[in-house]
């Protein structure tokens, strides 16, 4: 299962690997305090797109589309496909720092992984 949540939300038993996916870093203290297992800003949107979305918070669908196109064509596509296949048997939680629980880069990444998972099986 793949989830998206704010990095300050409490850890839950089904969080699995908790991965920070904002395109900016996270201090070691916050990483430990918030139980972040992986720092993966390379899976977050490009910095320019992320900044554009911060300036246009009502444009989530545009942001999501542009981010998904970037993910589809990017060098990490094989890793994302592996996450999608693994999501059938393992849990991962993408962490974000946004004030909007439904419109952020972790949610957009979760949606991308769900779309990939819909086109594969755990045996692929």
**Model pLDDT, residue 26:** 87
Confidence of residue 124 (pLDDT cuts 50, 70, 90): low
DSSP 22-36: SSS---HHHHHHTT-
- Coil/strand/helix, residue 36: coil
- What DSSP character marks residue 101? S
Q: Is the pLDDT score of 122 beyond 90?
A: no
Token duo for residue 1: 């299962």
Question: What average pLDDT does the segment 37-53 reach?
Answer: 95
Q: Residues 67-108: pLDDT tens digits?
A: 999 999 999 999 999 999 999 999 999 999 999 999 999 999
User: Which pLDDT score, from 0 to 100, does residue 96 have?
Assistant: 95
Across the chain, what does the average pLDDT equal?
Answer: 93
Q: How far apart are CA 60 and CA 63, in angstroms?
A: 5
The answer to whether the pTM exceeds 0.85 is yes
């Amino acid at each position: 299962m793949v989830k998206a949540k704010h990095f300050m939300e409490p850890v839950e038993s089904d969080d699995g690997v908790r991965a920070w996916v904002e395109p900016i870093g996270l201090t070691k203290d916050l990483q430990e305090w918030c139980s972040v297992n992986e720092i993966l800003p390379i899976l977050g949107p490009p910095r320019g797109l992320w900044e554009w979305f911060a300036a246009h918070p009502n444009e989530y669908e545009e942001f999501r589309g542009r981010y998904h196109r970037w993910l589809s064509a990017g060098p990490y596509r094989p890793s994302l496909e592996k996450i999608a296949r693994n999501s059938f048997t393992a849990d991962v939680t993408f962490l974000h720092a946004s004030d909007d629980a439904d419109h952020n880069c972790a949610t957009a990444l979760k949606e991308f992984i769900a779309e990939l998972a819909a086109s594969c099986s755990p045996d692929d």
